[in-house]
Structures are given as C-alpha cells and as structure tokens.
C-alpha cells in the first residue's frame, strides 16, 4: 500500500510540474514580440497602455489603451506586421504633436494652444495668423481638414 501511495505521489507531483510547461509550449508568442507591440502602440500615439496580453488562439496581442481624447479602447495588434485593428465605430484621433505638425504644415506657425479633447468631430488650435492676429483653427478628426475661424 505504501508503494502505491508513493508512486501516486511521484506521478502527481510530476504532472503538476509538467502541466505549466505543457501549457507554455502551446503559446505561440516569440521572444521580443511584447516589446515590439508596445513600440508599435507608442509610435501610433498610444502612450497609456493599461493592459496587453497575448492571445494564443490567433497569435495577436490585445491591448487596452487610452487614445488622445482619453477614450479607453481595446486594440488588436499583429506582432509580426504591426497591423492594428480598432473597434469600427471608434474615431481614434491624433496626438497633440500630430495635430501641431498638421497645422504647421498648413502654414500656421505660431500656435499657442492645442485642445485634443474632441469637440464634436474636431480639435481646436489657437494661433496667430501672418498679421499677428489671434485665430482659431479647427481640425476635422476624421478627414484632417483644416478650417480657419477668426476669434
């Protein structure tokens, strides 16, 4: 009876140690993928990543992030291609840096305020025009179209 108990104990202990290893073998994540995914998210302006985890059913990572407007999103990232899939009804918008670049490229160089909170479907940027007068510039969130509005 003692022999059977000892054999059972050793087999049980062996299975307990082997189970996590077997599960880890099913994971398809490769070394360095987590860092690559985090870099991809950062390069797209998602500076706040609340959670990111590997989905072993399809090889993608799911990330809970905060976009430029402060909205919580769940984004799926393919670690090999960097392709990101967001909810279809979401408008992700741009970071303050991207908005400033866009407005500056449109010829408005002297900006003094950028509001990245979505007001309707637009951002507001305050700047000085070529005459030094204060103006408000609206940037459409979806199209990026810039509209100048006098203050």
Q: Among residues 68, 90, 112, which one ends one of the domains?
A: 90
Residue 55 lies in a domain: yes
Cβ–Cβ under 8 Å, residues 117 and 95: no
Q: What is the CATH number of the domain that holds 36?
A: 3.10.450
Quote the pLDDT of residue 95.
Answer: 78
Q: Which tens digits make up the pLDDT trace of 41-70?
A: 988 888 899 999 999 889 999 999 887 767
Q: What integer best gives the mean pLDDT of the chain?
A: 79
Residues 100 and 141 in one domain: yes
Cβ–Cβ under 8 Å, residues 87 and 104: no
- What beta strand segments (E) does the chain contain? 48-55, 60-66, 72-77, 84-85, 110-119, 122-128, 134-140, 146-150
Residue 20: pLDDT over 60: no
| Domain range enclosing 65 | 27-90
Structure tokens at 45: 């302006």
Q: How many domains does the chain have?
A: 2
Q: Which tens digits make up the pLDDT trace of 78-92?
A: 998 888 887 655 556
126 pairs with which residues across the strands? 113, 136
């Amino acid at each position: 009876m003692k022999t059977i108990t000892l054999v059972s104990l050793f087999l049980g202990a062996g299975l307990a140690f082997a189970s996590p290893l077997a599960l880890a073998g099913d994971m398809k994540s490769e070394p360095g993928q987590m860092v690559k995914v985090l870099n991809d998210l950062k390069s797209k302006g998602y500076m706040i990543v609340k959670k990111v985890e590997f989905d072993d059913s399809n090889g993608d990572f799911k990330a809970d992030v905060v976009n430029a407007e402060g909205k919580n999103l769940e984004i799926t990232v393919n670690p090999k291609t960097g392709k990101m899939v967001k909810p279809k009804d979401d408008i992700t918008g741009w970071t303050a840096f991207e908005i400033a670049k866009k407005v500056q490229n449109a010829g408005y160089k002297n900006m003094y305020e950028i509001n990245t909170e979505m007001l309707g479907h637009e951002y507001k940027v305050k700047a000085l025009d070529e005459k030094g007068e204060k103006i408000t510039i609206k940037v459409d969130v979806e199209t990026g179209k810039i509209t100048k509005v006098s203050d």
